[in-house]
Structures are given as C-alpha cells and as structure tokens.
Amino acid sequence: MQLQRSGESAVSQNDERHAFHGLNGTSPCMQALFKRLSDLAGRTDPVLITGESGTGKTLAAKALHWAGCFRNEPLHSITAGHLLKENGSDSLSGCMDQAPGGTVCIDFIERLLPGQQQMLFRSLTALESAQSARLVAIAHGELAAAVADGRFRE
C-alpha cells in the first residue's frame, strides 16, 4: 500500500460520513485508501505500508488494526531504531510475543539490519502457521532501492 500527499489532510474532523477508524477524508484518494484498508482488515496477511513522510502511514496502520479481526487484542508498535538500540534479534522476537492475537507494527522497517530481517522472516513464518498475530510494517524510505542495493531482503 503506497500513500502519497494530496491536497487533503489524512486527519480532519469535517465529515463523519467519510471516515474510517480515525482517518477522515472525502477525496477520491482517501476513499480508495479506506476501501483498501477495509479489504485488508478482514485478512491476516502481513501488510507493508510505504509512503512519503507525513502522509499518515502510522494512522493507516492503526486504522487497519482497529478495523480488523485483531481489534480486540493488543496493538504493539515499535520502531526499528528501538530494535537497533537493544539486542536486535531478542528485542524483535520479544515484540512479536507482546501482542498475542493482536497486531505488531514495526515502523522504519527499512532500517532493520540483515540479521534482524532474518529474525523477522522466521517470526512471520511462525505467525502464519499459528495465525497468532498480524504484522504491519511501515517503510519511510525507498524500499525498492534498499532491496536493489542488497541492504534489504526481498
């Protein structure tokens, strides 16, 4: 899911008829976002949200959690920078355990080191088999360039 700036703020208090779990907007772009989030809400697949700074990626991740089948369970948000400061692999594994049945949201995922990416891949494999939590990853940079440079696993 790619978010881009438009002439409309992702968060406004104008019209409740054009809202989706904390996001508001009447533009075709926002309505398309609401539809996409609604479609994803009923699924348990991991989701990657990318976009420019200030486009509401974190708000979209929260809306996805509150609209989805994990809404009655914990939402645990963590930044990759936090994972880098601590013992990355152990911290990543721990954050996946902190939201049993809920959603784990990792912000700035493009900053994960290769070893952490491997740990995340293993955690995702375990989550998919147990269907115990959902992962929502947020990327702020150009993830395709990081993949092409070998800094991020495809």
Q: What pLDDT digit, counting tens, does each position of 74-117 carry? A: 888 888 877 666 555 556 666 666 777 888 898 998 888 888 88
Q: How confident is the model at residue 44 (pLDDT cuts 50, 70, 90)?
A: confident
pLDDT for residue 49: 94
Q: What pLDDT digit, counting tens, does each position of 134-154 carry? A: 889 999 877 888 888 888 887
Q: Which domains does the chain have, with CATH numbers?
A: 2-148 (3.40.50.300)
Q: How many CB atoms lie within 10 A of CB 51?
A: 17
pLDDT for residue 64: 93
How far is Cα 102 from Cα 134, in angstroms, rounded to an integer? 6
Higher pLDDT, 10 or 65: 65
How far is Cα 12 from Cα 21, in angstroms, rounded to an integer? 12
Q: How many CB atoms lie within 10 A of CB 85?
A: 10
With 70 as the cut, is the pLDDT of residue 21 above it?
yes
Please list, residue by residue across 99-114, b when 16 or more beta carbons sit within 10 angstroms of its beta carbon and e when fewer do: beebbbbbbbbbbbee
